[in-house]
Structure formats: C-alpha cells, structure tokens
Structure 1
Amino acid sequence: MQKLVIVGQGYVGLPLSQGATHAGLQVTGLELNPTTVENLNRGISHVDDISDAELSDLISKGYRASNDPAVISDADVVVICVPTPLGDAGSPDLGAVIGATKTIRDNLSGETLVILESTTYPGTTEEVCLPILTENGAKLDEDLFLAFSPERIDPGNLVYGLKNTPKVVGGISEVSGDRAFAFYSQFIDTVVRAKGAKEAETAKLLENTYRHINIALVNEMSKFCNEMDIDLWDVIDAAKTKPFGFQAFYPGPGVGGHCIPIDPNYLSYSVRKSLGYPFRFVELAEEINNSMPRYVVDRVQEVLNQSAKALNGSKVLLLGVTYKQNIADQRHSPAIPVAEVFLERGADISFHDPKIAEWQVSDQTFTRVESLDEAIKNADVVVLLQNHVGYDPDAMAEASQAFFDTRGVSTNGNAVRL
C-alpha cells in the first residue's frame, strides 16, 4: 500500500486526503496546529466540502492527522498543500512553502516523490524547492522525485470535485513527471502532462488571471452602463446566447477567496522580477476590482439620497459576507472592504449570513442579526452581497425600505441592481 503524507489539511489538502484514501492509499495529514489535528482525528471537519460524517468515514479507512514531521520518513509520496499569501508590497510570501520543504528535507528516507500543489510563481519548484530538498545529499530521480501540480479545488462546487476535474502535472524531469502522473492517475479521472514544472505553475496562474481580467472588464462596464442607463445584466444574458466565442462573467462587489485576489499578482511579480516591466493587464484589473467595494457604497448612497436620507447614521443591513455562495470561507471577502467604507462614512451596519455567526471587520466584532425579517424591515437599506441558498431576493426586496443587489439576481421592482 502506497504511503502518502499531505502537508496542510485545509480546503486543498483535506479533499486530496479524501480522494487518495478512497483509492486505497495510506494517508496521513500533516498539520502544525495541534487543535486542528485533534479535531480531524475526532471526525470534526473544518472544510465546507467535507462533512463530519465523510471525515469519520475516512478515519475508518485508515486516514489520520498528525503534527509529527517524522511521519514523512515512511512516506512514498509527500504533497505540499500550504497557503501562499501575498507579503509586503504584494510580493509572494513563500514562508509556508519553504518551511514545509525544509521539514520534508529533514525527514526524507528512501525513494520519495515530492509534489508542490501550492500556487506560486513560475520557477518556484525548481529554483526554491529543489535546492532545499537536495541540501542533505538527496539526488534528483534517484532517491528524490519532484513535480508541481496546481490545485483546482473549487469550494462549494457540486458538479466538479477532485476526481472529475482534470489534473495538470509537470515534473522537474521526465522521470519525476512520470512518477507524478502515475500517482494522480490512481484517483483522478484525467491527468494532463505539462511540458515541465514551470509550464504547470504558469498554467494555474493563467487560469485565474483570465478570470481576474474578465471580471474586471464587466466590473468596469457596470459603472458606465449605469451612467448610460443600460441594464448590464440583460446585456450579459443576451451576449451569452452566442454558442461560441463568449463566456459570461458577472460584476460584483469585488473579488474574494485565495485565487482571484492573489494568483494574478504572482504572475505579475514573476514578470517584473524576470523581465523588469509590468504585466499591465493584471495591474489594471487589480485597480478596477479593488475599486468595486467603494463603488458599491457610492451606489447605495445614491439609493438613500433618492429617499432623502443621508448614509451617515442610516441602518445598513449586509446580506452574505463570505467570499462565495453557500460556503463559510471568508478569505479576502469583498464584504469586509465594503463594510469598512460604510463605517468610514458613518453608517450603522449589521449583517446576516447563514454560514457565519460572528464577523470581524477591522477591530469590531459583529454578531449576526437574530431575526432576519425584522432586520430587513428596520434597515434603511438592505445590501445583498452574496446570494446564499435560502435567501429569496425578491421577497427581501419587497419587504425592504430600499434594496441594493450586487449579484443581479432580483427581479422585484423595489430592487436596484449593480
């Protein structure tokens, strides 16, 4: 039985553990946080896509979590699934990747395949990870095999999961690529070989930069379409009837999660670092998408003005504060900068989200409103930021004094859409 250690048991690492365990591999999830390890081994999941019952099933099949790096010494395969946030001035923070790589180096034993899944800039696997892993004498393609495979987990997606989403792999060498291809083929339907690790690293960045730029396009269109009295939502509905050459993207209050706000910056950083000039598309998209929270507040202020109300002192109810529909993940949620601008302008904000009981904005903690119906009636304006299942935007708009819809899902005449 192949022994697998997955470093990091978050929204990428835990689903990977699930897929590999069901394929018959002996899986250990390596986590530094002892509380997380304890909860995982008790069957308490912290990841939206894996229920407690599913985690308990994994445990019954041999999965376990550990905070002891020595488990790496018995592993045939080690996969790195740790966070890669942005550091100072928007530069990549590879601290967790470097730390994980050093831990693997210190515990390597025998032939081991190491795969980096954490999103990063092109060249990281070869230029950062390889030198660390070979510091103690390990030799590439003899006792160490190294590859990159970008994660493609889409939290909350009920159609595409780990197994049926094609998996890209690129090895530092052809032999390492072969090993990585064979590993993933055990539990993923389609594995795609990239030319090498750099190509696999760049493929991930291209995927999310494409989304980032196209979201910025419709966000900017939302501004001038409003000024020109054009219904952009209807425009998009009309355009997407074309069966070729067009993919629908939608405006919103900003971009959230790990991928869209972070990954394009890694590509921009790489271009500047290697070539000395900016990736202008990414930097412009960043500027536009970052402008949306303040633009949303501007639009809400206009809605209040039409009722002869000032934003300062008005009761503003925010609906849905997670970065994505129907999940509890708040990473880089645009709801936070939206709330910060409301507070900056003197609004009295409250929130509701079925996934979140307490919400931290700057140095303030907000508790979810107890009665949603009462909160809607009492608010001067209700702002829909995330349309979770269970919300009825048209009914909410009907019950509201004013209703601003950033997701374009309402048809009620009382609603104003972004």
Structure 2
Amino acid sequence: MPADLAVIGLGHLGLPLARAAVAAGIPTLGYRAGPESGSLAPAELRRMLAQGFRPAPGSAELGRVRTAVICAPTSCGADGTLDLTHVAEAARVLAARLRPHTTVILESPVYPGTTEEFLRPLLEEGSGLRAGSDFHLAYSPGRADPGNRDFGPANTPKVIGGLTPACTESAAAFYGRLTDKVVRARGPREAETVQLLETNYRHVNIALVNEMAVLCHDLGVDLWDVIRCAETKPFGFQAFRPGPGVGGHGVPQDLASRAPRSLRMVELAQRVNDRMPQYVVQRAATLLNEHGKSARGAHVLLLGVTYKPDVADQQGTPAREIAHRLMELGASLGYHDPYVPAWSVLDRPVPRADSLYEAAADADLTILLQQHRTYDLQGLSAKAQLLLDTRGATPTGSAHRL
C-alpha cells in the first residue's frame, strides 16, 4: 500500500503523529532524522504496522507521499541558540525527492521566521520547486504531551500557519483528519510564535512557583497548602507546582540573538529553574546534617529519573545534575525507576534498586524526583529513613517537602 504521509523524525513529536495517523486510517511512512528520543514497544510497533505504518528503508519513498511532516529534533546549543542541524538535514533529504502539489509541514520547535527564512530556501533549492505555487508549506507547533491520559491528538486543537492561504487550507485539511479542531493562524510566523509563547509560559510560571518554594521554606510556610487553596479561585489563576528542575523537549527562548529586544522575563525564569537542582542538593545535605549525618559517605536513593511521570523519556531531566552534584559531595547513589532499566551519570553506572522498599529502608536519604503512578508513596513514607519529596506528592506530614 503506498503511503499517504511521511513523518520525518520519529522522536517525541513524530511518533505520536505517526501513531495518530495510522489509527485514523492514513498509510504512513516513518523516516528517521537525527537522534530519536522516542521508542515503540514491540506490541505497539506490530499494531502500527498492521494499521499501515512502514519504516522507510531509504529516502526514495518520500517522493510518493501527499503530505510530509518534519519533526526533526532541535536542541539548545552551547551558546543558548537552537540547533537546526537535523531540520536542515531532513529538509535536504526531502527536497531531493519533493514532487509538485506535496504539502510540507514543519512541527519542530524553531524560532519565528524559520519556516520562511530557513526551511523554504532549502526545499526550493533542493527541489527546483517554488513554495506556495508548486508545493504547499506550513508550520504547526507540536503539542504532544507524553503520558497525558486526558488529551491526545484527537482532542488537542492544532494551530496551522501556511505560507499562503492555500497552504494553510491544505495543511488544515490534513490535520482535520486527525483532530477535532484546527485553528488557522495568519501565517507561519504567527504559528511559530504560538509555540514560543506556549513553551515560555510554562517555564516562566514554573520559575515563579519554584521561587515561591524557596521563599516559603525560608518563611516556614507550607507552599503546597498555599497552592491547594489558591487553585480554588475560579478565575485569574492556574496552578503550577515546583519541582527539582524543568526537563522536557520545549526549550525556552528569550530571542536575544534573533530580535531587537530579548524576553528578559524568560531569561530570568531560565536562571531560576536552572538553580533548582542545586537547591535540591542543598536541602538534601541540610536534612542529612540535621539528622546527624554527612553527605559524604551517605547512601542516597533517587526515585524517578525521567523528566515527567509515567514515561521513559529522560530529555533534560534534572536527575542527572542532582546525581552529579551529590557525587561531588561524596554521596553513594542508587536509583529506582520502573521505566529506566539502566542509568549512568558521567559515564558511571548508578546501581538500580531491585526492591524499592528495602532500598528506601537502607538508604540514609531517599529523594523523590518523579512521582510515577506505580509508587505507593504512603508505603514509601513509612519505610524510608528520611524522605525528601520534590513533587509534593506524599501525604502531608509524612516527608520533607520541597
């Protein structure tokens, strides 16, 4: 069966899109682009193959699809700017096979202006075709939320911004087969900036509540009770919760190198969030000291090393920096995570606890970094010698909370 859709990049954006497409009856070709963070269980892969999914053995078949969606990974470089290397590679591979009337959509997180100023020239130069007349070109911000049981592709609106009105409508017709609602932006720059706003909104609000966590601890105030009460307000407030740091694939952007004016609040929020792993380690060392123990030589058990609950993805997880800092203090580490069978920090393997409760009972300090649903936190609180809960997930009074 010829594929109708090519998903280029099978990571945290591409895999959910491919899964939704084949479930909707769209024959789909999967093409890898750069390092992929997503993975499929064998049973899920068999189900997708039965529904019409095919991994591409090469690039030749990219020229036979009606729609191609680029979901190549982007990451923050050493200088703080987005690395578009894999987007460029995907564009060149696709351009060499691009046929007239194909709809090309970019979903990778990018700067405003990337679709027109970066992707378009690569596609036109490599194909000899013109965007907007020979093929359709659009941007749609990725909104995948791994592990979310309430919102998936079908009930999450998709924003579309095309190079021309016809490009927008062609992309909207494709996404209309997957989702209940399509929202049309004025153009690709507006759609790209939607992604920018959504990502920065998350980071800024997490930074605010992270600062509140530090302040409330210093004041002796129960922040978690403050949040519980504040979220009863039916207007003007959305509850965010503190944590050991901010992981995930959404990279906050202050646009300092891309625009006349930077987003200073985003820059400050990033500094606040980047300090949280260090703050967690400081709290851990203080707790050990208060109980007559030193961080040097202490056995510390880390629970949950993924960036969000109930997924295996470790992209940007603060657990690595926390582990590194604890090692520098001379602590002996162990970890437990039902989704991570093996884990290493600085190329040093961290021992995995086979029996969670026995490991917590033996550890001088247990730190809950991620609240996977499989954790019985009440039972864990009873077994652990000393428990630091960075997620506010344990019963009130049963652990030391962030």
Q: What interval of TM-score do these two structures reach, taking the shorter chain for normalisation?
A: over 0.9
Hey, what's the Cα distance between the residues in 1 that align with 2:231 and 2:273?
Answer: 22
Structure 1: state its 5+ residue gaps. Answer: 37-44
Superposition pairs for residues 46-195 of structure 1, below 5 Å? 47=39, 51-135=41-125, 136-195=127-186
Runs of 4+ in 1 over 4 A off after TM superposition: none
Query: Contact between 2:12 and 2:144, CA under 8 Å: does it hold in 1?
Result: yes
Q: Which moved more, 1:9-18 or 1:285-294?
A: 9-18
Hey, what's the Cα distance between the residues in 2 that align with 1:204 and 1:367?
Answer: 38
Hey, what's the Cα distance between the residues in 2 that align with 1:360 and 1:317?
Answer: 14
> TM (normalized to structure 2)?
0.96
Superposition pairs for residues 347-362 of structure 1, below 5 Å? 347-362=331-346
User: Which amino acid in the other structure matches residue 353 of structure 1?
Assistant: D
- Pairwise CA distance, 1:183: 1.1
> TM (normalized to structure 1)?
0.92
Q: Counterpart of 2:359?
A: 375
Q: Which moved more, 1:313-322 or 1:60-69?
A: 60-69
- Pairwise CA distance, 1:111: 1.6
- Aligned positions, number: 400
User: Which amino acid in the other structure matches residue 258 of structure 2?
Assistant: K
Superposition pairs for residues 222-301 of structure 1, below 5 Å? 222-259=213-250, 262=251, 264-265=252-253, 268-269=254-255, 271-275=256-260, 277-301=261-285
User: Which amino acid in the other structure matches residue 199 of structure 1?
Assistant: E
Q: Which moved more, 1:51-60 or 1:100-109?
A: 51-60
Superposition pairs for residues 212-231 of structure 1, below 5 Å? 212-231=203-222
User: Which amino acid in the other structure matches residue 274 of structure 1?
Assistant: A
Query: Contact between 1:257 and 1:323, CA under 8 Å: does it hold in 2?
Result: yes
Hey, what's the Cα distance between the residues in 1 that align with 2:307 and 2:287?
Answer: 24
Structure 2: state its 5+ residue gaps. Answer: none
User: Which amino acid in the other structure matches residue 400 of structure 1?
Assistant: A
Q: Counterpart of 1:203?
A: 194
Instruction: Give a deviation string over 1:161-210, Cα, whole Å, max 9, x none.
Output: 11110000000111111111111111211110011000000001101101
- Pairwise CA distance, 1:137: 2.2
Query: Contact between 1:272 and 1:279, CA under 8 Å: does it hold in 2?
Result: no
Q: Counterpart of 1:39?
A: none
Query: Contact between 2:34 and 2:86, CA under 8 Å: does it hold in 1?
Result: no
Query: Contact between 2:3 and 2:29, CA under 8 Å: does it hold in 1?
Result: no
Query: Contact between 1:28 and 1:64, CA under 8 Å: does it hold in 2?
Result: yes
| Match status 1:391 vs 2:382 | no
Instruction: Give a deviation string over 1:119-148, Cα, whole Å, max 9, x none.
Output: 100000000011111114202233211000
CA distance 1:183–1:293, change in 2 (3 Å) = same
SS in 1 for 2:196: helix
Could you tell me the percent identity over the aligned residues? 46
- Pairwise CA distance, 1:57: 2.4
Query: Contact between 1:6 and 1:29, CA under 8 Å: does it hold in 2?
Result: yes
User: Which amino acid in the other structure matches residue 46 of structure 2?
Assistant: S
| Match status 1:13 vs 2:14 | yes
Hey, what's the Cα distance between the residues in 2 that align with 1:239 and 1:76?
Answer: 49
- RMSD of the alignment, in Å? 1.8
User: Which amino acid in the other structure matches residue 227 of structure 2?
Assistant: I
Query: Contact between 2:310 and 2:339, CA under 8 Å: does it hold in 1?
Result: yes
Hey, what's the Cα distance between the residues in 1 that align with 2:281 and 2:315?
Answer: 21
User: Which amino acid in the other structure matches residue 109 of structure 1?
Assistant: R
Hey, what's the Cα distance between the residues in 2 that align with 1:94 and 1:250?
Answer: 31
Instruction: Give a deviation string over 1:235-273, Cα, whole Å, max 9, x none.
Output: 0001001111100000110000111xx1x22xx13x532
Query: Contact between 1:32 and 1:67, CA under 8 Å: does it hold in 2?
Result: no
Q: Counterpart of 2:296?
A: 312
Hey, what's the Cα distance between the residues in 1 that align with 2:23 and 2:364?
Answer: 51
User: Which amino acid in the other structure matches residue 212 of structure 1?
Assistant: H
Hey, what's the Cα distance between the residues in 1 that align with 2:247 and 2:393?
Answer: 19
